[in-house]
Structure 1
């Protein structure tokens, strides 16, 4: 079994709510603090810094944009935010009160985002021009979004129990999930050319190929409430278990390993590959956790390896 070491780094007080995290072009970790309306920055080995937004912004997902700045959604203010690596902030109001959540850079040089309350996917250029695309479903709560290897954007439909795909021209395809009430949230492009996602209500990791075929891998703890997922650069995917206080990895073949976080009730949310080659996850208790992976050795306590039996459709 793989040996994993986890260290926590305090970056805010317990009420700040670190939520999403990404690696910026400056080789720093950038993260949102959803409860304190701030954007945080941490260079591994240094003290964290933070940038204030206006009240009620509720920043959620953050990513690096094609222009070398960081872009983020402001769920509470119905805006898209942009922050440069030296801390200059711009905000772009959206046409509707839509609760933007997920955001990702696309192959067309723009950023695409989800509108949870409006059943739409939006597109914003780096100079702030916004286009919205309606989805063919209602009450779907589109959530996380990522760029697929096929040049399209893929996104989770949390309340419609489906995965969506939208081409650069705006054509939308909906792929229902095999498990009822799975409530997918996090999504990422996998190392195998497929898109991988997590099902927060079903306790599963899912995979969808370009042909729309879905495979689901049950977690050892079906009540773990997996939230976010990313790739590690070595062929595996890593996810957070918000309800299980763990992080886990899944190989493309379905082998799952899970690891307890040091602090009980730490509420892990976003996860990313850091500039130092480690995995980093945002903990809502006011910390970031650094996850390092060592060559296989005898399993330490409180860890587990599980071969999932996938279901497909």
Structure 2
């Protein structure tokens, strides 16, 4: 879009005068503790792609097919189609410099040639057709496709142009009283056209044939109308260099959404992160938005790039042309998700930090498991979550100082040691009794990790009635770690088995039966056949009518499969899929808080997990563990793409 160099204002879809305007007060944010102030370095979420000519002066961008974008390059008289990854897929050569773009709903694009008195069409194959405007020196400013026609403003001759692709007719309609008709947008709800006039400060409403339907004037407190946007097919928002506003003419009330900007050059929306209005500000050299009433700005890595226009693809990525540098910028809205980290000096301190963060006022029950092996903590996770109990870690022979200090702070009335004396010695139990003489201290143990897991399912602490049991291998940790919060959310448990065996034992089948009925129970197998054998799956299917398997080519895909369908709007946790210690206590906390855990590589997060954060509108993501387990790049939500 060719942006108007005027001072702000907006449009409603009804042709009545808004009586007054007020600046909309910011609503109280749900939580702004993690939201930064001032321009943010978007880090890996902002990518700049060099276009063929660094001096081409690209000036507008619109969404194309398959996640690509169309970019107008004024000096080169070209329109480029650029892939999501910055590759130039097609080049359309024009005879004049393009200035404003709009999509044609068939994968192509229309453009104005402001200085060449023409409009141009580029189809999906990049074939070009240009149409001269009959009136000389009309300076076509902006363009829109609406109801099968192509409309454009003639800013120097006070006309509305209309091209009919069906028969090739190009008509011009005078706008009596107009000074500088600038932007044009069609409103699907009213079937009308809205045309801003930066010279007269009004908005003209027109039928499809150009006939007059009335005008708008700017509401009190707003300045001249400039450019328009149409969200969900309704023209209700507009902007100029310094202000973004809406006008609800029915209620005679105007809301100013954004003020005191330096040079807004484009406005769009993203809906996967709830509704977010985004803008490009060339003066401040930022992409900007508001979340929960708080403004976020994402700074360009290079000063004064000349951001021009803005487009959204996939309800995820924002694009803007860099007029000065000749580049194309792409911002991932994952940048809006504030990161956090829970960690300590070691695994024991990390578990204590997780417990303190989740239970600041203490807890009535606490679990203590070995921090030297993973199995007992993973079995305990969903059951601890069910009882709103943290999981603390200790060494085998001596109660860890971090666990002791946190137990004193939590002051639970009941402490449960998970694992036999080979995992946690009787000395650890005695130390807990000494530290908390009024607490009931018990042990749930067994001859091995599988026996401990069964004992937990059979205990009074386990939930009942969910008709689900999550069955995971006890040979490795990732699948059970991912399953823990999912099981807790379902009011269920995780049973660890030897996934390589050809059959479950009678004790294991009886433990499963404590949770499932043959008619309605659904065993949930976690991981592929290499994790839990097909023979075990067949055994379960012979007893239960339905059996479900969460599959994937690796632990990260299994993690994503488990977390599909998680409740939107929940914060998420990220834990190492490579190293277990820092994440051991996370399953219980995530389950109690009804939050998912996603597994990560050391230096990047699987793309499917980052996708889920955006799609599920995670308001925040917390990394579990220190930098040795998960790097700073993980904390910045760097995707492994």
TM-score (norm 1): 0.82
Cα distance in structure 2, aligned partners of 1:148 and 1:22: 19
Aligned to 2:92: 51
3-state SS in 1 of match to 2:84: coil
Cα distance in structure 1, aligned partners of 2:306 and 2:317: 19
Task: Please say if 1:99 is aligned against 2:139.
Answer: yes
Aligned to 2:215: 174
Cα distance in structure 2, aligned partners of 1:103 and 1:160: 20
Q: Which structure carries more helix by proportion? A: 2
> Residue 283 of structure 1: which of 318, 322, 331 is its match?
322
Aligned 1:10-159 pairs, distance under 5 A: 10-25=50-65, 27-48=67-88, 49-54=90-95, 57-97=96-136, 98-106=138-146, 108-127=147-166, 128-139=168-179, 141-150=180-189, 151-159=191-199
Q: Structure 1's 231 and 296: CA in aligned 2 closer, same or farther, altered over 3 A?
A: same
Aligned to 1:304: none
Cα distance in structure 2, aligned partners of 1:193 and 1:276: 18
Residue-by-residue CA offset, 1:187-243 (whole Å, 9 max, x unaligned):
21135945211121xx110113364946252646x2512122122234222111122
Q: Structure 1's 41 and 67: CA in aligned 2 closer, same or farther, altered over 3 A?
A: closer
3-state SS in 1 of match to 2:226: strand
> Residue 263 of structure 2: which of 225, 234, 237 is its match?
225
What is the Cα deviation at residue 282 of structure 1? 1.2
Task: Please say if 1:198 is aligned against 2:235.
Answer: no
What is the Cα deviation at residue 35 of structure 1? 2.3
Rg larger in structure: 2
> Residue 307 of structure 2: which of 261, 268, 273 is its match?
268
Conserved? CA contact 1:186–1:197, under 8 Å: yes
Cα distance in structure 2, aligned partners of 1:67 and 1:191: 18
Deviates more, 1:84-93 or 1:166-175: 166-175
Unaligned stretches of 5+ residues in structure 1: 300-313
Deviates more, 1:258-267 or 1:21-30: 21-30
Aligned to 2:409: none
Greater relative contact order (CA < 8 Å, ≥ 6 in sequence) = 1
TM-score (norm 2): 0.42
Aligned to 2:444: none
Residue-by-residue CA offset, 1:257-291 (whole Å, 9 max, x unaligned):
33222221111111111257311111102111111
Query: Which runs of structure 1 show a deviation greater than 6 angstroms over 4 or more consecutive aligned residues?
Result: none
What is the Cα deviation at residue 34 of structure 1? 1.6
Conserved? CA contact 1:23–1:275, under 8 Å: no
Residue-by-residue CA offset, 1:145-188 (whole Å, 9 max, x unaligned):
22224222223222222333323242243212236894543321
Conserved? CA contact 1:187–1:228, under 8 Å: no
Aligned to 1:307: none
Aligned to 1:188: 229
What is the Cα deviation at residue 74 of structure 1? 0.9
What is the Cα deviation at residue 17 of structure 1? 1.0
Deviates more, 1:119-128 or 1:30-39: 119-128
Cα distance in structure 1, aligned partners of 2:98 and 2:261: 27
Unaligned stretches of 5+ residues in structure 2: 1-34, 341-641
Residue-by-residue CA offset, 1:100-155 (whole Å, 9 max, x unaligned):
1211111x21111111111122111124311222223232x222222224222223
